[in-house]
Structure 1
Amino acid sequence: MTTLGIIGSGHIGSQIARAAIAHGYDVVIANSRGPETLTELVAELGPKARATTAAEAGAAGDVVVVTVPLKAIDDIPVEPLAGKIVLDTNNYYFERDGHIEALDRGETTTSEIVQRHLPTSKVVKAFNHIAAADITTDGTPAGTPDRRALATASDDQEAVDFVTRFYDELGFDTVNIGPLADSWRVERDRPAYVVRQNAEELRENLAKANRLP
């Protein structure tokens, strides 16, 4: 069974951990404060989860989720994630992250920033446009009418294929935006951001997005 390394134990990270374990994954989770601060979460998650450091979570994960504030991306260890699929849940909040001129001008995307920091990883956008609570409550079986859809984007097809399978396991359809350069379509303040939508509605919202919201 796939081991999911999760770097970041906030709302999104902990919810992905819960959902992954419910679907048979092993989880190795880390945060910036140390594994001893994750005792309660790991106890809740059960025997398929353990807490460790970010470097160890990256090394242990067959696939790794990076879910930390954008301003903390440079703290993510590079070498343990080399060659691996890395799910990037990031959103740019200048109020938290400080102004990043290339993002303010629409010259790059959050996922491209993550990809530059992790040059040998297969970065893929995922879970950035869904409320954390919905990850474990909104999923439905494949074929359910009006099934909720989530978007992804990557320069690597293997990474897209994994996210598509993972979304489906958790109960969501997938819409592939395309390369990381186009992932701005699902970033903050765009029509597809944190709204419940099926695949057709998601495609429509992605098409309506403006580069500078």
Structure 2
Amino acid sequence: MTDRPVIGIFGAGKVGTALARLLVDAGYEVVLTGSPRQTALELLVGVVAPGARVASPDELVAAADLIIVAVPFGKVGTVPWASFEGKVVVDATNYWPPVDGHIAEIDADERSTSEIHAALNTGARVVKSLNHLGYHDMEDDAMPAGSPLRRALAVVGDDPEARRAVARVIDDLGFDAVDGGALANGRALEPGHPAFGRELSAAELSALLAAERVLAA
């Protein structure tokens, strides 16, 4: 993977377009696709994420080195996971019952939601990240490297190289990346868990993730 991988984003909502703006500003080529129900998508993206390119799902997968899934949780099944073989895929989704309603099979599953998604294509290199801060915080909280108040974001996944690739992107976005280890540790990043929505330094987030792993063990 090059220093500036092409980034594909599934989801042209508030999260997807906020990420697209930051990525374009950081010098990345960004390809974005949205819901078929979103009319005039190219016009919308041209206004809210200028510099990003709109493409079909197949075109996005073919062009992207790294894919971000930023669709509503209930729409995860509409994403072409079967096409993600060998791709680094960032799962930025959240299962949030106040929004999604209770989904019995998710509630009964002991795995983290990203482990559930990774099982949709075991050849995809799934990383959980970018889900535990609000879309409005993405631009407001981004800071240059070395800033003493720089916010940290966790990166968890079973593929160390994929974690490093995502960490480089996060650093370019304006955040300190914290390696949280295996994908199972992503539960600490989900709604209702300690890291979700909290502004933490790299040291604070590292300590929190370490404590969660101890509790889980």
Whether these two folds match at TM > 0.5 is yes
**Separation (CA, whole Å) in 2 of partners of 1:88 and 1:100:** 18
Structure 1: unaligned runs, 5 residues or longer:
none
SS in 1 for 2:153: strand
**Separation (CA, whole Å) in 2 of partners of 1:190 and 1:119:** 26
Residue pairs, 1:1-213, within 5 angstroms: 1-33=4-36, 36-44=39-47, 45-46=49-50, 48-101=51-104, 103-105=106-108, 107-209=110-212
Whether the 8 Å contact between 2:17 and 2:45 is mirrored in structure 1 is no
Whether the 8 Å contact between 1:32 and 1:54 is mirrored in structure 2 is no
**Separation (CA, whole Å) in 2 of partners of 1:151 and 1:50:** 27
Whether the 8 Å contact between 1:35 and 1:53 is mirrored in structure 2 is no
**Separation (CA, whole Å) in 2 of partners of 1:102 and 1:152:** 25
Corresponding letter in the other structure for 2:133: I
Of 14-23 and 1-10, deviating more is 1-10
**Separation (CA, whole Å) in 2 of partners of 1:120 and 1:37:** 34
**Separation (CA, whole Å) in 2 of partners of 1:143 and 1:40:** 37
**Separation (CA, whole Å) in 2 of partners of 1:95 and 1:55:** 32
Q: CA deviation at 1:36?
A: 4.4
* Number of equivalent positions: 210
* Runs of 4+ that moved beyond 6 A: none
**Separation (CA, whole Å) in 2 of partners of 1:35 and 1:54:** 14
Corresponding letter in the other structure for 2:87: K
**Separation (CA, whole Å) in 1 of partners of 2:201 and 2:175:** 9
SS in 2 for 1:183: helix
Corresponding letter in the other structure for 1:165: R
**Separation (CA, whole Å) in 1 of partners of 2:42 and 2:158:** 36
TM-score by length of 2: 0.87
**Separation (CA, whole Å) in 1 of partners of 2:34 and 2:123:** 22
Q: CA deviation at 1:106?
A: 5.9
Corresponding letter in the other structure for 1:33: P
Corresponding letter in the other structure for 2:118: Q
Whether the 8 Å contact between 2:74 and 2:100 is mirrored in structure 1 is yes
**Separation (CA, whole Å) in 2 of partners of 1:58 and 1:118:** 14
Structure 2: unaligned runs, 5 residues or longer:
none
Corresponding letter in the other structure for 1:23: A
Whether the 8 Å contact between 2:84 and 2:121 is mirrored in structure 1 is yes
Q: CA deviation at 1:158?
A: 1.6
